[in-house]
Amino acid sequence: MVIQSDKYHLNDFPLRTDKAIVVTSYGGHRLFLKKTLEKYMETGAYVICSYDGKNEYPDPDIMKIPHAWVFKHRTYGADKRIGWLWDTVYAAGLLLRLSEIKVIFTANGDCIWEKPQGINEIVKLLGDDCDMMASSTESNLIHTCSVMFKAYVYQQFADYIAETLKNNIPESYSPEVVLRDFVKYHNIKNVVAPVQPMFPEGCRYKGVDHYCSYNQDSTWKRVLGFRNLGAEHKQAPIEHLEPIPKKYIDFQHNYFTTHEQLLHKYYETNDRRWLYKYYAEGEDSYWNRRYYPIEYYGDRPLHDDSKRKELGPPSERLGHFKRDQFQSFILKDDEYKNKWKEVIEGSG
């Protein structure tokens, strides 16, 4: 027999490796999914992408990256709740037959491990006194963004989810609540990671930031180079922060939303006017959003913030914006009516 591939020895890889990563994902992660999956594959673990598709699926080149994909049945409502729970059940069904796997990680598709080699170090935190550990934990909440389980505990968790879902309720259950209750019910040895991701000084919130929205320090950050790209990406326009580096973005496919097309323009041109426009149309209060033409931010490209005070987002120009406060005000912006209203309405 002629061997047609020099990779035939990988055929039994799932039966030989002792670690697995279940990447739970859905259409909203596609902007980052190519980059994150590539990094998970660098760990040397068996990588499954457990995907809640609906009508938004990755392109074929992304489908080739992980070792396997799992697609659950169609579910309705509360996508990031019911979807995640079923993603876990389906992935556990596949992993159940792979007896050599001793440690299973969950990881969201918009989160990246910049130090994939750290997987061998972080598993050392498991032991006789530790059955599982999450990237962030508080007294009454265990976040599911990234969790490390002993394999048999992960299977117990999947069984617990399945039993819970037999009581079908509208909008489903919070995965964090289900995980918390599972730990209490089975007396699981859940150990809090030594370094928790805390909200930085000057933020609107205090305490543990379970979404790691500011790329802050944590055990997962130190050992795995963890970043929650999706959370950082969503926080940037709300607080007028610098966007995530474009190296994490998949430009090969058009996964950008209408609002994110403005960010795409900024990534392409490095023209800060597009970034100011992105901020203005993404203010956290709908009433403060302004949809001005690009000329509102200057008649020529801006490549630094030297004119931000006079040409930046309207909320900054008018002195209303403060990073550490919710922007519940309504902009008193006469320019909108007097100068730009006719231009904007005419462009429609």
Q: What is the pLDDT of residues 171-190, one digit of tens each?
A: 778 999 999 999 999 999 99
CB 104 within 8 A of CB 95: yes
Measured CA to CA, the distance from residue 263 to residue 184 in angstroms comes to 44
pLDDT in tens, 277-319: 999 999 888 888 889 999 999 999 999 999 999 999 998 988 8
pLDDT at 339: 62
**pLDDT of res. 33:** 98
* pTM (2 d.p.): 0.91
Question: Higher pLDDT residue, 5 or 40?
Answer: 40
For residue 3, pLDDT over 60 is answered with: no
Backbone φ and ψ of 249, nearest 5°: -95, 140
Q: Quick check: helix, strand or coil at residue 72?
A: coil
Q: Which residue has the higher pLDDT, 107 or 342?
A: 107
- Compute the distance between CA of residue 171 and CA of residue 308 in angstroms, rounded to an integer: 43
Residues above pLDDT 90, as percent of the chain: 75
pLDDT band at 324 (very low <50, low <70, confident <90, very high): confident
pLDDT digits (tens, 9 = 90+) for 122-137: 999 998 999 999 999 9
pLDDT above 50 (res 1): no
pLDDT recorded at residue 203: 83
- Looking at residue 79, its pLDDT comes to 74
Report all structural domains of the chain as residue ranges with CATH numbers, in order of start.
14-231 (3.90.550.10), 256-347 (no CATH)
Whether 348 shows a pLDDT value over 60: the answer reads no
DSSP output for 255-288: ---TTHHHHHHHHHH--HHHHHHHHHTT-SSGGG
List residues bridging with 228 in a β-sheet: 111
Report yes or no: 161 and 220 within 8 Å, Cβ to Cβ: no
